[in-house]
Amino acid sequence: MLRTLTRPASITGLIALLIVLLMAVFPSQTLESALRGLSIWWQVLFPALFPFFVISELLLGFGIVHFFGKLLDPLMRPLFRLPGIGSFVVTMGYVSGYPVGARLTAQLWEQGLVKRAEGERLVAFTTTSDPIFLIGAVSVGFFHNAALAPVLAAAHYGGAFIIGLLMRFHDRHEPVTESLRRTPSRRSSRLVEATKAMHEARLMDGRSLGKLLQDSIQSALRLMMVVGGLVVFFSVVMELLTHAGIVEALAEGLRLLFGAFGLPAKLADAVVFGLFEVTLGARAAGEAGTGLMHQAAIAAWILSWGGLSVHAQVLSLLSRTDLRYMPLMLARLAHAFISVALVYLLWGWLAP
């Protein structure tokens, strides 16, 4: 048993040693890729994510999450086997993109508002791209085709909705967390009950506006530092693996597989880059020039898989909870292939 437990640690140690050796062999490339990752974090991710992190903290303190929880409880339970409070995570996760859904899920778990299985269901289908990145960066920036956005959005968010429906069977024997308050009586509408729940949550929090704002900014800054460190790390790893020929070896294997299925072999490079990092993979898909439909399908795969960089960000946010990584990874894989299938199915109706 001890040998089984130490085997993953040994593999991780060997990988870390390999990265250190590659950094020693390619010092200038390491510095350049680190600076490039830092630039992406500062110029793109920080202004995009930091306001959402602060706002989400404020909304939790104001009790808005309890308001949505009470209001949408009848919808969330039958569809996703989640308490209504999960609707707040779904909304914020889809609007602001990864890893906000994981951050909010961890907060709900820490407050005892969701159980482990419910948290795993939430993270599984709220780890999505934000619309601004999907439309502005991918469709317009990488593909230079704004008309591609409806196809990508329908495949990506439609796939996430399907994952949410499928995840309702995850740990299906565990009961759903009870509502925050009793069901509304005939004399009291659900909107009134939701407002009462929000007010009670605000009273329980008890922090002044100034204290709440200060705590929200400090928490968001700590989280952004973690995200930035992971972005720089994966930028360095990708550069080192490229110079060491590992990326090319993976791409060559995928080219053979793609050829067997009649897919353009050049898209294999995009898949390899997207396996590690969303932005690099989506850019490579847009520049492949192998036929727009196949390129869009691969871009949908990359957006839905999320890249190991996003996976690492989610894991860091869930590190203080008992939520497991395996359900998330399986859900990301399923989401990726469902999105590809939806691109091909919807192409005739939504094709640019």
pLDDT in tens, 108-159: 898 888 899 999 999 999 999 988 889 888 888 889 898 999 999 999 999 9
In the Cβ-directed half-sphere of 243, how many Cα atoms lie within 13 Å?
Answer: 18
Q: Which of 138, 131, 129 shows the shortest CA–CA distance to 283?
A: 138
Residue with tokens 């506006």: 209
Q: Cβ distance 186 to 331 under 8 Å?
A: no
Q: CA–CA distance from 192 to each of 5, 263, 277, 319 (Å)?
A: 53, 55, 45, 37
CA–CA gap between residue 58 and residue 56 (Å, rounded): 5
Q: Which residue from 73, 91, 93 is spatially nearest to 82, judged by alpha carbons?
A: 73
Whose tokens are 């991918």? That residue is 138
pLDDT one-digit tens code per residue, 16-26: 888 888 888 88
pLDDT the model gives residue 188: 56
- The whole-angstrom separation of Cα 117 and Cα 123 is 10
For residue 43, what are its two tokens? 């110029």
pLDDT of residue 111: 85
pLDDT of 8: 56
Write down the residue that tokens 């303190």 correspond to. 61
pLDDT for 148 equals 92
Q: What pLDDT shows up at residue 352? A: 66
- Cα separation, 221 vs 207, in Å, equals 19
State the amino acid at position 163 in one-letter form. I
In this structure, what are the phi and psi dihedrals at residue 12, rounded to the nearest 5 degrees?
A: -60, -40
Of residues 310, 277, 299, the one with CA closest to residue 99: 310
> Cα(114)–Cα(100) distance, rounded to whole angstroms?
16
Asked if residue 71 lies in contact with residue 190, where contact means CB atoms within 8 angstroms, the answer is yes
**Mean pLDDT in order along the chain per 10 residues (352 residues):** 52 81 88 88 80 81 78 83 86 83 90 90 92 86 89 95 93 70 54 78 80 89 84 86 86 86 83 87 84 92 92 89 92 96 91 69
Residue 99: CB partners within 8 Å, gap ≥ 6?
127, 227, 310, 313, 314, 317
Q: What's this model's pTM, rounded to 2 decimal places?
A: 0.82
